[in-house]
Amino acid sequence: MAPKVTNLFVSSALLLGLSVTSFARIGETMDEAVKRYGEVVHHGITYGEELYSFKKNGFNILAHFHEGKIDRIMYSSESGRKLTDEEIDTFLKANNYGRPMNEDLPYIWVGKDAAATYSKWPRDTWHLDIKARTFGRKRIVAKKPTEKAKLEGF
């Protein structure tokens, strides 16, 4: 009896691992994103950030790239409906090495190298917004030389 239970467990773990890795996002290149989602359906600037849109299986995917890799990704339903708990958990795990993220507050999660929020914006559409931990730091580092120059001589 034990071998059957072990085989069932191993098979279930393998299946779960395959389903989660098929949704891996943070850190992917454009080529990997296109292979996963298909061609870019829109490319533009939103709030000063260059973003690429994809559509797959009823979801809108909005990706921000830094140095050739996704460092921010947003998921929403094409219909604008709220994502289900299962959908949210799947996307969070996919961006956290297959492990669940810790929910700090309602609709705020923290993982190993990423953090996520779930909110309604713009035009009343719910979005799951997942950012690599380095997403904000890259902007700060880019501003430091300018700020340092302003402070010289004080």
Q: What is the pLDDT of residue 74?
A: 95
Task: Specify if 9 maps to a domain.
Answer: no
Which are the contacts of 55, defined by CB distance < 8 A and separation ≥ 6? 37, 38, 41, 61, 78
**Domain ranges, residue 125:** 23-151
Average pLDDT of the segment spanning 119-137: 86
Does residue 2 register a pLDDT over 70?
A: no
Task: Specify if 3 maps to a domain.
Answer: no
Task: Specify if 13 maps to a domain.
Answer: no
Q: Furthest-apart CA pair in the chain: how many Å?
A: 77
Instruction: Report residue 17 as tokens.
Output: 């691992």
Instruction: Report residue 53 as tokens.
Output: 């849109």
Q: Is the pTM of this model over 0.85?
A: no
Instruction: Report residue 119 as tokens.
Output: 């909110």
Task: Specify if 4 maps to a domain.
Answer: no
List pLDDT tens digits, range 61-86: 999 998 889 999 999 999 989 999 99
Report the number of distinct structural domains present in the chain.
Answer: 1
